[in-house]
Amino acid sequence: MNVRKYIISFLILLSMFIISPAESAEGRTEIRITGSSSAVDISDILSRKSGTLSESDIKKICADITGRYHDRGYTAFYIEKAVMNSDGTADIIFKEAVVSEIKVSGMGEREGDAAESIFTKGELFNEFILKENISLTRKRFNLKRLNVTVKRGGDGNIVLSAVTAENIHELDTAVYGSPVYGVRPALAYRLRTGGILAGVSGESSFNQTDRSYSRGAVFFNSDNEPGNSYFSFSADVFDKKDSYDNSDDLIYRHKSLSPKAGYTWVSGAAAMGLFLAGTFDKLDDYPRENGGASFYGMQIKLSYNDSPYKIRYDDITTGEAGFSSGWNNIEERFSSRLTADYMINFSLFTGIFISLNGHIFYTTDDERFSHVYVFDNLIPCRTDDYTSASWRNISGIDLNYEVFKRTLYFAPVFKWGIYGTGSTFDPHENVSAAGAKLFYTSGKIRLEALYLYDTGDSFKKGILMFSAAAVY
Q: What is the mean pLDDT of the chain?
A: 89
Strongest mean pLDDT among 284-298, 307-321, 383-397: 383-397
At residue 113, does pLDDT exceed 60?
yes
CB 256 within 8 A of CB 238: yes
Mean pLDDT of 29-48: 83
pLDDT per residue as tens digits for the range 152-183:
988 889 999 999 987 888 899 999 999 999 99
Mean pLDDT of 41-50: 77
At residue 200, does pLDDT exceed 50?
yes
Residues of the chain with CATH 2.40.160.50: 169-471
Confidence bin at 120 (pLDDT 50/70/90): very high
CB 263 within 8 A of CB 229: yes
Calculate ∠ Cα 430-319-455, nearest 5°. 25
At residue 136, does pLDDT exceed 80?
yes
At residue 20, does pLDDT exceed 50?
no
Residues of the chain with CATH 3.10.20.310: 2-95, 99-166
Calculate ∠ Cα 358-363-234, nearest 5°. 80
Provide the pLDDT for residue 25: 39
461 residue type, one letter:
K
The dihedral sign for the CA sequence 106, 112, 117, 122: positive
Reduced to 3 states (helix: H, G, I; strand: E, B; else coil), residue 340 is: strand
Distance (Å, whole) CA 163 – CA 161: 7
pLDDT-wise least confident of 1-10, 248-257, 269-278? 1-10
Provide the pLDDT for residue 27: 45
* Closest-CA residue to 221 (of 189, 197, 245, 200): 197
CATH architecture of 99-166: Roll (3.10)
At residue 239, does pLDDT exceed 60?
yes
Provide the pLDDT for residue 49: 53
CB 396 within 8 A of CB 358: yes
Strongest mean pLDDT among 11-15, 138-142, 313-317: 313-317
Distance (Å, whole) CA 144 – CA 106: 11
Q: How far is CA 204 from CA 168, 170, 183, 189, in A?
A: 26, 20, 8, 16
More confident residue, 11 or 422: 422
* Closest-CA residue to 143 (of 111, 166, 110): 166
Mean pLDDT of 370-394: 95
pLDDT above 90: percentage of residues in the chain: 62
* Closest-CA residue to 101 (of 142, 53, 160): 160
Superfamily assignment of 2-95 in CATH?
membrane protein fhac (3.10.20.310)
% helix, strand, coil for the chain, step of 5? 15, 55, 30
How buried is residue 294: exposed, middle or buried, by Cβ count under 10 Å (0-12/13-18/19+)?
A: buried
Tell me the backbone φ, ψ of residue 255, rounded to 5 degrees: -110, 140
CB 213 within 8 A of CB 181: yes
Confidence bin at 229 (pLDDT 50/70/90): very high
Confidence bin at 48 (pLDDT 50/70/90): low
Mean pLDDT of 107-124: 88
More confident residue, 77 or 310: 77
pLDDT-wise least confident of 26-30, 114-118, 173-177? 26-30
Strands (E), 16-157: 19-20, 31-34, 78-84, 90-95, 99-105, 143-152
At residue 228, does pLDDT exceed 80?
yes
Confidence bin at 186 (pLDDT 50/70/90): very high
Q: How far is CA 467 from CA 22, 27, 180, in A?
A: 71, 71, 15
pLDDT above 70: percentage of residues in the chain: 93
Provide the pLDDT for residue 227: 77
Confidence bin at 19 (pLDDT 50/70/90): very low
Provide the pLDDT for residue 9: 56
Q: Report DSSP state, residue 28.
A: P
pTM: predicted TM-score of the whole model, two decimal places: 0.75
Confidence bin at 51 (pLDDT 50/70/90): low
Provide the pLDDT for residue 47: 79
Is the CATH number 2.40.160.50 carried by domain 169-471? yes
CB 221 within 8 A of CB 196: yes
Mean pLDDT of 337-362: 96
Which residues 6+ apart lie within 8 Å of 364 measured at CB?
334, 335, 336, 337, 390
